[in-house]
Structure 1
């Protein structure tokens, strides 16, 4: 399949920004920020930060620890349990990307 000039340009930008925090704008105008973790001929793979409510499920007035008991989000105190996932994987087709911009980490 023949690739367009834009496809090669977007691929090169993704490759240049591999493992960096970026803002990606899609052709439909949507914007996604995250870290580019992988790239192939058709897709870009990103680690996208989760919102706080996605990391800690809210059950009424309590936030439940990793074992299902109310308490600290990491278990029963500092150092116990595992920290929550902070990223989810997102796969975007290169054809859907319009622009890529590098973002600062802070």
Structure 2
């Protein structure tokens, strides 16, 4: 009975945060971030990001190896960051909590002056 209440509560939370970037805490204490993509009666599908090395991306190229790590003046370039999202399914029993991902910039306000 208690497990059904917890499962229903997690299902409602997942429904509220559908298509949002969230921080997920599992029952074993681990945390990760992801985007809730879908859900069914038994679990939730979360798109979990994974970092991809730039060298790994260059080896996957179809034509050539891309550019070197220096700009036109011989200065080293800043390394680019690539992220890839993978879908993973988690049962409701393994979820402990969902939290909205904190973005530290304000929401863009509307126009001022009655335009």
> TM-score, with normalisation over the residues of structure 1?
0.71
Partner of residue 28, structure 2:
28
Distance, in Å, in 2 between the alignment partners of 1:56 and 1:86 is 14
Alpha-carbon spacing, 1:57–1:102, altered in 2? closer, same or farther (3 Å): same
Q: After TM superposition, list the pairs within 5 Å mapping 1:1-106 onto structure 2.
A: 4-53=4-53, 57=56, 63-67=58-62, 69-72=64-67, 86-104=84-102
Contact residue 65 and residue 71 of structure 1 kept, 8 A: no
- Separation (CA, whole Å) in 2 of partners of 1:65 and 1:40: 35
Report how many aligned residue pairs link the two structures: 89
The answer on whether the counterparts of 2:47 and 2:88 sit within 8 Å (CA) in structure 1 is yes
CA apart distance, 1:10: 0.6
Asked if 1 retains the 8 angstrom alpha-carbon contact of 2:25 and 2:95, the reply is yes
Residues 85/103 of structure 1: CA separation in 2 closer, same or farther (3 Å cut): closer
| Structure 2 counterpart SS, 1:104 | coil
Runs of 4+ in structure 1 off by over 4 angstroms are: none
CA contact (8 A) 2:49 2:83 kept: no
TM-score (norm 2): 0.66
Structure 2 gap ranges (5+): 68-81, 105-115
Offset at residue 49 of structure 1 (A): 1.2
RMSD: 2.5
- CA distance in structure 1 between the aligned counterparts of 2:103 and 2:47, rounded to whole angstroms: 14
Q: Which of these two proteins has the greater Rg computed from alpha carbons?
A: 2
